[in-house]
Amino acid sequence: MTVPLEKVSEAARVAEPGEGISVDELRLASRNHAMPMEMLREDVTPVGLHYVLAHYDLPAVDRDTWTLAIGGCVRTPVTVGFEELTSMPARTVRVTLECAGNGRATLSPRPVSQPWLNGAVGTADWTGVPLNDLLERAAPTDDAVDVVFAGADHGFERGVEQDYERGLSMADATSGDLLVAYAMNGEPLPVQHGYPVRLVVPGWYGMAHVKWLQTVTVIDGPFEGYQNKAYRLRQQADEVGVPVTRMEPRALLMPPGHPDFMTRDRIARPGPVTLRGRAWSGWAPVERVEVSTDDGTTWTDARLEADAGRWAWREFSAAWDALPGEHRLRVRAHDAGGRVQGDVPAWSRGGFANNGDQPVTLYVLDE
Amino acid sequence: MTVPLEKVSEAARVAEPGEGISVDELRLASRNHAMPMEMLREDVTPVGLHYVLAHYDLPAVDRDTWTLAIGGCVRTPVTVGFEELTSMPARTVRVTLECAGNGRATLSPRPVSQPWLNGAVGTADWTGVPLNDLLERAAPTDDAVDVVFAGADHGFERGVEQDYERGLSMADATSGDLLVAYAMNGEPLPVQHGYPVRLVVPGWYGMAHVKWLQTVTVIDGPFEGYQNKAYRLRQQADEVGVPVTRMEPRALLMPPGHPDFMTRDRIARPGPVTLRGRAWSGWAPVERVEVSTDDGTTWTDARLEADAGRWAWREFSAAWDALPGEHRLRVRAHDAGGRVQGDVPAWSRGGFANNGDQPVTLYVLDE
């Protein structure tokens, strides 16, 4: 019996009006998890609570036989094993990492894919070897245009069988910020974050941070692999679209009070509340965060806490006197490049880079 | 303005026919995650991939000021700090732990709560002090009936404000199997698994394994707190119901082949395949696992691998020659007590203890 692959692996689609979350989407949501919002209390997201998105199965890679091969348009192809990699000069960088599809399930109409609400983010201290140090050893030739990073994860997507592969331009790949990382918060990478080695591209959405990294290939033209075509902003399926790259500014509020189990709405008692959260932008430092306690009718500036480094989120806080009633809390970030978080999520067919805000409903009881 | 609590924290309900997963359910699914099925390859579930369910926010507990108070109907109330607890004789036990609601979202009609598919399970090595050693120091009085375990997690549920609390009978609490655990796989507990200390009740569904444990209170009557009333098997909302206790037998198959990103269906090429998985029961040891590759029309016995201890899942395997076409794979477990996994999930309003099976759709390509 012949199985047509397109029966199994269908084209992308947008949900019908009023269509509830499908079982396909739920299957993705049950394996790829968000950061619980109360973890905004932590500078560094604890192990197992950083958001995770893997397109395919988490591969089992043996660190002792693992190698990273750097080849293609280079003068000296280089292959390093784990021991050699970890003996090279290393750097540790605190990086906030967000999925390009964060907020997708809040869009209308809803792109049918991993149904993120707002929590597809996390911050970790990544330790690794600067990618430039490895590329310099390989010495790209003058015709180098793009660099392709391939992971060990393998699957099917919209009819295409593939290892997960992403390309970056030579300029982006050699910015000096990229790490070939082998530790997360001082420990070996958890399997779901790319054990034993992944790429970290500070400031970029997660799709560029290739996990289970195995090969780095310099090519003499633009990379036209599946993932570089998929992660684009499009209004229609047949558009070429605009590549998704750096993280748009976004602020998240640590929800005050206590949750209701089912609705996850928040309940508190009257009195002073410190509204706290974190904000980030991959384009420029966060320079302002506003807070609204009346669903965006009025806004006040939050206080920004100490800068935690260019690639880490920045904590903010604002004092508020919570009176009995129902409140709708919102926050929005501005970066130094003039980008402002939109309070209506920008829509695209993939649901990417929509930096809509995260309204928090808080009920303050009478006493 | 007065907010009626029942507006925020509603009664439990069952989904309408054809009703998609709601945003409320998705909010739960985005924070409480399942074990990815490929992790059935591991004896012990890696950190961050064991299933997690927390009813409320993950509390921030300071280990240096944390205490466990054992009181109520005891001759000698006992309070221990973390240092004292970890200096007592300890035991390490490998325990498979499953959420009572595992499989809930596969039921029809669907109980509206955490929408688990099949992966709300995991196995860990838990290290801790036998609960009996602590109870013996406190010396329960002769009128002791139940023991109540309370965590630091606080929230609202179906209109009731509460710390998470669960009661066990004195007989169940003093079985000798229970641990007051402070390490998971040799490391301090991750915050989402109860840091710094949780209860482990081998063989029981997760609702009994109270996380962020703070007090153990012996009482002279049956515990009638919220959670002991909630975790019951009922067909109608107004029934008293039957308490949910030990895990029913269940087998899970590690899906062969590679996934499609969106449908999570599996795709493979023709040839020999080893079907592998794990099975467990809280009632009695697993003594048989059957495998079907034709959607349950015919079944063959899988080979059982070595027993990994009374409370750990047991690995099984079966050889199969995969021919081109669409296949529906199923597995089912039998335990030594005569319990057999049902292939139609047992329905209850809470969706608890339904040990329905997990059909895996596999497409084998022509080559």
pLDDT for res A9: 85
Quick one: closest CA in B to A364, which residue?
A: B3
Instruction: Mark which residues 246-275 of B lie under 8 Å from A by CB.
Output: 258-265, 267
Residues 6+ apart with CB under 8 A from A209: A97, A198, A199, A200, A201
pLDDT for res B33: 95
Rounded distance between C-alpha atoms, residue A21 and residue B336, angstroms: 40
CA distance A189 to chain B (A): 10
Rounded distance between C-alpha atoms, residue B73 and residue B94, angstroms: 32
CA distance A51 to chain B (A): 9
β-strand B266-268 against B258-259: which pairing, if any? antiparallel
Q: Do B156 and A259 touch (CB under 8 A)?
A: yes
Task: Give the model's confidence band at A357: pLDDT under 50 very low, under 70 low, under 90 confident, else very high.
Answer: confident
- Residue B178: pLDDT above 70? yes
Within 8 A of A105 by CB-CB distance, chain B residues are: 23, 26
Residue A33 at interface with chain B, using a CB cutoff of 8 Å: yes
Closest to A47 measured CA to CA, from A64, A66, A33, A57: A33
Residue A186 at interface with chain B, using a CB cutoff of 8 Å: no
CA distance B334 to chain A (A): 27
Two structure tokens written together for B338: 């005569």
CA distance A180 to chain B (A): 22
Within 8 A of B259 by CB-CB distance, chain A residues are: 56-57, 155-156
Q: Write the residue in B2, B36, B158 that is nearest to A31 by C-beta.
A: B36
If you average pLDDT over residues B254-264, what whole number do you get? Answer: 96
- Residue B344: pLDDT above 90? no
- Residue B3: pLDDT above 80? no
> Is the dihedral angle over the CA atoms B46, A200, A25, A262 positive or is it negative?
positive
Note the pLDDT tens digit of each residue in A178-188: 999 999 999 99
Q: Do A31 and B267 touch (CB under 8 A)?
A: no
pLDDT > 90: what percent of chain B?
Answer: 93
Residue A5 at interface with chain B, using a CB cutoff of 8 Å: yes
Distance (Å) of CA A302 to CA A131, A246, A308, A320, B253 = 37, 24, 17, 11, 50
If you average pLDDT over residues B352-359, what whole number do you get? Answer: 92
- Residue B316: pLDDT above 70? yes
Quick one: closest CA in B to A33, which residue?
A: B30
pLDDT for res A216: 98
Residue B13 at interface with chain A, using a CB cutoff of 8 Å: no
Q: Do A265 and B8 touch (CB under 8 A)?
A: yes
Whether B258 and A157 have beta carbons less than 8 Å apart is answered as no
Residue A43 at interface with chain B, using a CB cutoff of 8 Å: no
Rounded distance between C-alpha atoms, residue B334 and residue A144, angstroms: 60
Closest to B69 measured CA to CA, from B147, B146, B128: B147
Residues 6+ apart with CB under 8 A from A297: none
- Residue B18: pLDDT above 90? no
- Residue B14: pLDDT above 90? yes
If you average pLDDT over residues A203-224, what whole number do you get? Answer: 98
pLDDT for res A1: 57
Q: Do A49 and B191 touch (CB under 8 A)?
A: yes
Rounded distance between C-alpha atoms, residue B178 and residue B161, angstroms: 28
pLDDT for res B1: 57
pLDDT for res A18: 86
Set out the domains of chain A in order of their start, with CATH numbers. 5-243 (3.90.420.10), 250-364 (2.60.40.650)
Note the pLDDT tens digit of each residue in A56-93: 999 999 999 999 999 999 999 999 999 999 999 999 99
Residues 6+ apart with CB under 8 A from A223: A146, A148, A165, A166, A167
Count interface pairs A-B at CB distance under 8 A.
Answer: 222
- Residue B2: pLDDT above 80? no
How many Cβ atoms from other residues are within 10 Å of residue A143's Cβ?
Answer: 10
Quick one: closest CA in B to A16, which residue?
A: B20
Two structure tokens written together for B330: 């199923």
Rounded distance between C-alpha atoms, residue A310 and residue B116, angstroms: 39
- Over chain A, what is the mean pLDDT? 96
Note the pLDDT tens digit of each residue in B49-61: 999 999 999 999 9
The model's pTM? 0.97
pLDDT for res A344: 77
pLDDT for res B31: 95
Note the pLDDT tens digit of each residue in A133-164: 999 999 999 999 999 999 999 999 999 999 99
What residue type is B27 in one-letter code? R
Residues 6+ apart with CB under 8 A from A171: none
pLDDT > 70: what percent of chain A?
Answer: 99
- Residue B213: pLDDT above 70? yes
Q: Do B156 and A113 touch (CB under 8 A)?
A: no
Q: Do A325 and B3 touch (CB under 8 A)?
A: yes
Note the pLDDT tens digit of each residue in A285-343: 999 999 999 999 999 999 999 999 999 999 999 999 999 999 999 999 999 999 999 87
CA distance A66 to chain B (A): 19
Rounded distance between C-alpha atoms, residue B58 and residue A269, angstroms: 20
pLDDT for res B271: 97
Two structure tokens written together for B130: 């036998």
pLDDT for res A4: 75
Note the pLDDT tens digit of each residue in A246-277: 999 999 999 999 999 999 999 999 999 999 99
- Residue B343: pLDDT above 80? no
Rounded distance between C-alpha atoms, residue B41 and residue A142, angstroms: 45
Quick one: closest CA in A to B365, which residue?
A: A3
